[in-house]
C-alpha cells in the first residue's frame, strides 16, 4: 500500500467515512513492520484509538454477559425465603453492629491524649532539609508528568498539521 493511499485512508478514517474493510486495511498496514517514518505519528494515533475501541467493545460484551448471567440466576432463585433464617440473619447483623460500635468506643476512650503542640523535629535545620527534599521530590514528579503531556501535545499537533494539508 502506498504512503499516499494510506494518508488518504487515514484522513477518511478521521472524518468517520471508512468502511470496516478499510479500517482493517489500515490496521494491517499500521501493525506491519513496513511503516515509513512519515506515518509514525498516524500509526501511534490509530493504534491508540483502535486499542481503546477494542477495550470498550470487550467491556460492553462482558457487561451483557454479566447481565444475562444475573437474569438467569434470578430466574432460578427460590421465590420465598425462610422467615426463621431471615430473622436470625437480622439478629446476627444487629449483634455484630453493636459489638463493632462497643469495640470502637472502648478503643477511643482508652486512647492516650496526644499533645499536638509539640514539634516533630528538634532542630530547624533538619526540618528545613526534610521540607526541601519533599518539595524537590514533588517537583520531579510534576515535571515528569508535564514531559509526558508535552509528548502527547506534539503528536496531536503533528496529526492536526498533516490532516489540515
Residue 140: all three cell numbers together: 520531579
* pLDDT band, very low/low/confident/very high, at 117 (cuts 50, 70, 90): low
Residue 91: all three cell numbers together: 439478629
71: Cβ contacts below 8 Å, ≥ 6 apart: none
Q: What is the pLDDT of residue 119?
A: 63
Residues 24-61: tens digit of each pLDDT: 888 788 787 678 878 888 888 877 877 777 777 778 88
CB atoms within 10 A of CB 23: 16
127: Cβ contacts below 8 Å, ≥ 6 apart: 119, 120, 121
Q: What is the pTM of this model?
A: 0.34
Amino acid at each position: 500500500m502506498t504512503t499516499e493511499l494510506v494518508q488518504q485512508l487515514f484522513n477518511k478514517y478521521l472524518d468517520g467515512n471508512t468502511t470496516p474493510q478499510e479500517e482493517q486495511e489500515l490496521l494491517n498496514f499500521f501493525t506491519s513492520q513496513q511503516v515509513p517514518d512519515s506515518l509514525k505519528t498516524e500509526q501511534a494515533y490509530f493504534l491508540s484509538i483502535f486499542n481503546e475501541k477494542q477495550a470498550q467493545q470487550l467491556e460492553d460484551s462482558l457487561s451483557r454477559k454479566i447481565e444475562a448471567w444475573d437474569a438467569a440466576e434470578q430466574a432460578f432463585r427460590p421465590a420465598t425465603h425462610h422467615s426463621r433464617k431471615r430473622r436470625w440473619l437480622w439478629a446476627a447483623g444487629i449483634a455484630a453492629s453493636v459489638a463493632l460500635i462497643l469495640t470502637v468506643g472502648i478503643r477511643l476512650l482508652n486512647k492516650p491524649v496526644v499533645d499536638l503542640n509539640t514539634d516533630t523535629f528538634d532542630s530547624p535545620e533538619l526540618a528545613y532539609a526534610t521540607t526541601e527534599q519533599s518539595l524537590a521530590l514533588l517537583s520531579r514528579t510534576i515535571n515528569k508528568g508535564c514531559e509526558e503531556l508535552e509528548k502527547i501535545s506534539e503528536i496531536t499537533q503533528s496529526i492536526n498539521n498533516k490532516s489540515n494539508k
